[in-house]
Structure 1
Amino acid sequence: MRLLTFTSLYPHPEKPSHGIFVETRLRHLLASGQAESRVVAPVPWFPVRHPAFGRYASYARIPRRECRHGIDVVRPRFASIPRVGMGVAPILLAAGARRCVGNILDAHGFDVIDAHYFYPDGVAAAMLGRYFNKPVVITARGSDIGVIPAYPLARRQIVWAARQARGLVAVCDALRVAMVRLGIPAAKIGTLRNGVDLELFRPVERDAVRAQLDIAGFTLLAVGNLVPLKGHELMIEALPLLPDVRLLIAGAGPLRRHLEAAASRLGVAGRVRFLGALPQDALRGYYGAADALLLASSSEGWANVLLESMACGTPVVAPRVGGIPEVVADPAAGLLYRERTGAAIAEAVRQLRAGQPDRGATRRYAERFSWDDTTRGQLRLFRSIVGAPA
């Protein structure tokens, strides 16, 4: 089966972990030997590479073509207009990618457009599917269903794209339920959860790694972009109630200075370390060295960092939102809390410390979540659309 993977969430040299879960799922699918794919990963157009222009300049530095892990990746540019209504985003995305998609169709052909993230990517993919008369599969991943439909026009476009698509995928059951509530036909939606790379994320020699990373005492690790959705400020607010606990924050984003100021204001700056964005192989050491992974998101589909931490033997403390209860479904995995407040987070951390799970049991729990079932589910779905024999 020949796929065209379409998504703006795909790793590149400027952000090696950007959309890594899309690439990982695709790599496991292609490893089956029963599908091939070319990736179209559109990037906003910007004319200047100078660092003074911040993240906009980084768009200009992203290569237009790359081969990653044997997969051809093409990155056409599209117009992205700041502070302009969301309604035009899918149109601009589809227009920017149309020539590239047409060239791939002419040169190599493809059977299905496999799109990831519903808005604007999935809507744009549905437009391209109509233009090229090709079936489309769209995978919903989290905030594209949990947050963006609050905008009425975006919601209508999402529902339109869902009705155009031949197949729909949710990465957790909670996301599937949310899609049905939007008015998307339940019969079209399948649940294919993300897995975890059990070879990459595995236990480490903790004492040696903790010494190497200068980690001492009970240490929490947070992994995620420094944006409001992730709730890092709540984690910092919990620290005055946990006087012997340290917090490591791995991630980059616009809230870095705000969070540093919050840590200083609360008198905990000496117990918070900002690590910046880290590649996955470096994250493994921090996962393994930490005593717990802390998550405080207001919305999540399937939070990959939870499984990555568990695979390294480290339990998690996370809010009971979205698909998180489907990931943290056993005491060996960690502990869930209901209120997203600093006080509730502090209490949850204290409870985890009082009954710290065995790290071996946490690893064994994560071993239930390989990518094999997800790959089989994708193959069934694509075969049903292409008409290939099972």
Structure 2
Amino acid sequence: MKEKLSIAALLPHAGLAGGVRRFVELGNRLQKRGHDFRIYMRETKKPDWIECAVPVLPLGKLSERTHDVVMCGDCGLLESMAGAPAKKRIAMIIGERYASKYRAFLERHPDALAVANSGRWNEYLPGVKAIAIPGGVNTAQFRPGPRGEGPFAINVVGRLDKKLEAVDLVLAAFKKLNWKDARVRIVADRPSRLPIRYFLLRKRIEQVSGTDQAKLVEYYQASDVSVTMERTAGWSNPTAEAMACGIPVICTRCGTTDFADETTALVVPVDDVAALVAALRRTREDPAAARARAAAALQRIRNFDWERVVDGLEAVFR
């Protein structure tokens, strides 16, 4: 019988975010496998947008017991992890944006183990010793479903007012295409003000809440293409989720290199609106090829189910 471990994860908040999803999904599964998994935060409110079956405790209680493993991906909490009584401390490398901070932490704490959520971690942390365990997707939740009736639909997950998510680029491409019979759906935790330059498109742009995870799945399923133009990301949840729902995908390399290539997606350069316009046109004008890429993507992304991620982490824990 496998040893049951005491595992702690540090989070900065309980809001809608990829890092929160990662630790909650992992915690739920590790708990089911018999481990004692706890989340520590400055606030003790459980995430209300995703099922969270593990206890959430105040960060101040972290030092009250010795854990077998303490994990943290937030740069603002890494030193809290370093000071916690634990047999093993794991810095979860969640992307290139904070590469210098991860490097500095690992230099100060050489006993900490680095686990990256993307296979391309060595591009932005050369010389650092790390183990790659890519992110995951809940394939039982995010799955293909009926498309339903309606105009050609472009789905994009992210906020207009978040520069790194680059949702504005999707609207810029949509404006250039001037498709009167198509729609853009922006899925975010809250709506943002539509820039005045897109005022004439307002009746073809829908902003909806993505906090209800069942509705989020329906939005993917009701789309003809999902677009993610992120400027930086460790693991692109929206791209992985769209693939798991069987939807054709257009994305950048940011957070997608483990599963997106010419057979599974149309990969465009960061900030390249012209390339995005061409990719959208290609997707719409050749639906058979788009469906073939989506089918290949669906098969590939199933290799990244959270259960497999947990298998990899358990091996690291021991």
Tell me, yes or no, whether TM beats 0.5: yes
Provide the C-alpha distance between the structure 1 equivalents of 2:26 and 2:53, rounded to a whole number of angstroms: 14
The answer to whether structure 1 residue 178 and structure 2 residue 124 are counterparts is yes
From 351, 365, 375, the equivalent of 2:282 is: 351
Provide the C-alpha distance between the structure 2 equivalents of 1:262 and 1:315, rounded to a whole number of angstroms: 28
Deviation for aligned residue 1:250: 0.5
Q: 1:283 to 1:65 in 2, by over 3 A?
A: closer
Unaligned runs of 5+ in 2: none
Structure number with bigger Rg:
1
Provide the C-alpha distance between the structure 2 equivalents of 1:64 and 1:362, rounded to a whole number of angstroms: 33
Contact 1:310 1:316 in 2 (8 A): yes
Provide the C-alpha distance between the structure 2 equivalents of 1:274 and 1:256, rounded to a whole number of angstroms: 8
* 1:94 match: none
Give the percent of matched residue pairs that are identical in Structure 1 and Structure 2.
21
Corresponding residue SS for 2:258: helix
* 2:257 match: 325
Deviation for aligned residue 1:27: 1.8
Alignment of 1:53-64 (within 5 A): 63=45
Q: 1:268 to 1:137 in 2, by over 3 A?
A: same
C-alpha distance after superposition, 1:311-336 (max 9, x if no partner): 11102101133x323221352x3210
* 2:171 match: 236
From 102, 126, 132, the equivalent of 2:63 is: 102
Q: After TM superposition, what 4+ stretches of structure 1 lie above 6 angstroms from structure 2?
A: none
The answer to whether structure 1 residue 366 and structure 2 residue 316 are counterparts is no
Deviation for aligned residue 1:356: 1.7
Q: 1:161 to 1:314 in 2, by over 3 A?
A: farther
The answer to whether structure 1 residue 202 and structure 2 residue 137 are counterparts is no
For these two proteins, the number of residue pairs brought into alignment is 306
* 1:340 match: 271
* 1:70 match: 53
Deviation for aligned residue 1:277: 3.5
The answer to whether structure 1 residue 5 and structure 2 residue 6 are counterparts is no
Corresponding residue SS for 1:357: helix
Alignment of 1:95-174 (within 5 A): 97=59, 99-103=60-64, 105=65, 109-117=66-74, 119-126=75-82, 128-129=83-84, 132=85, 134-142=87-95, 146-149=96-99, 154=101, 157-160=104-107, 163-165=110-112, 167-174=113-120
Provide the C-alpha distance between the structure 1 equivalents of 2:71 and 2:139, rounded to a whole number of angstroms: 25
Provide the C-alpha distance between the structure 2 equivalents of 1:374 and 1:65, rounded to a whole number of angstroms: 21
Corresponding residue SS for 1:378: helix
Deviation for aligned residue 1:100: 1.4
C-alpha distance after superposition, 1:4-48 (max 9, x if no partner): 11122545xxx5987212211222233333x221110224xxxxx
Unaligned runs of 5+ in 1: 44-61, 77-96, 211-215, 384-390
Deviation for aligned residue 1:113: 1.1
C-alpha distance after superposition, 1:63-99 (max 9, x if no partner): 3899x6431112x3xxxxxxxxxxxxxxxxxxxx3x3
Q: Select the structure that is richer in helix.
A: 1
Contact 1:325 1:336 in 2 (8 A): no
* 1:251 match: 188
Deviation for aligned residue 1:338: 1.8
Deviation for aligned residue 1:365: 3.1
Alignment of 1:18-57 (within 5 A): 19-33=20-34, 35-43=35-43
C-alpha distance after superposition, 1:191-230 (max 9, x if no partner): 11112111111111221xx5xxxxx221111112441000
Contact 2:92 2:115 in 1 (8 A): yes
Q: CA-atom RMSD, angstroms?
A: 2.8
Corresponding residue SS for 1:219: strand
Corresponding residue SS for 1:368: helix
TM-score by length of 1: 0.71
Corresponding residue SS for 2:246: coil
Contact 1:17 1:280 in 2 (8 A): no
